[in-house]
Structure 1
Amino acid sequence: MGEGQDWSSGFWDCCSPCGTCCLGFCCPCCLHGRTSSRLKDPSLQNDSIMNGSCCLYFLTSYCGLYFIPLMMKRGQIREKFGLEGSGCGDCMRACCCPCCTLMQNEKEVESHAGLLQSSGYQAPGEMQYGKANR
């Protein structure tokens, strides 16, 4: 594994929250789409889980190639947030347990949502000068 920060949740912590777990198990393409939307719009104000990422995941799952967009998204998340791991590890996780990978991806992006919302330029505050004692 490459150097970097730990993921905010463990790989096998895929049963909570329940709503996200159910979405990942019953409709994984929708969870993949929501994670992609959250990367672009952390507040999910313009949430559209039925997007290009959702369609790509859906189409590749019919060919048995579902792991390709999943490992690519995981790599994107890993690089964006400086997380530990490698391309080979991303591929193995996506192939062996796609549901856990989907959940960990979503939970990681959700945990960084505040950082993503405030990642623009922040003007420094005014400087305060104290009065000199004379």
Structure 2
Amino acid sequence: MEIQTELFTSEWGVRNDVKHLVDALQDKLPAMGMVKNANKNRCLEKFRKAQNVTYDIFNNGLINRGKSLKVLGLKKDDLPLPEYYGRDHYFPGNWERVEFLVSEAFTPIIRAAAIEQGMIRG
């Protein structure tokens, strides 16, 4: 049972069962900007964009890349992020739910990029 729990825990939207793919895909990304030959590497480019949005969700509460959230197929209202309501009200967010929603959306993007790059079979 403990092994199964480890499989489905995630860190910043990356489940443990695909973490090795993310590490390998990151090596193929440029330090800045789009991937080379983005027309032939569409899935890798989508992975790059999705990874940037995922980072922004967990690091900044989706302040910088809210419009880019569509790459994950999510809407801002889908994510129970922390919010202030005036001076006296605060919703702390539900980070476990955010983690689940992001990992469910991000995992197929990771797999598609890994297939495109020849890391796994489709």
Tell me which of the two structures has the higher relative contact order, counting C-alpha pairs closer than 8 angstroms and 6 or more residues apart.
Answer: 1
Larger Rg: 1
Give the TM-score of the pair, scaled to structure 1.
Answer: 0.34
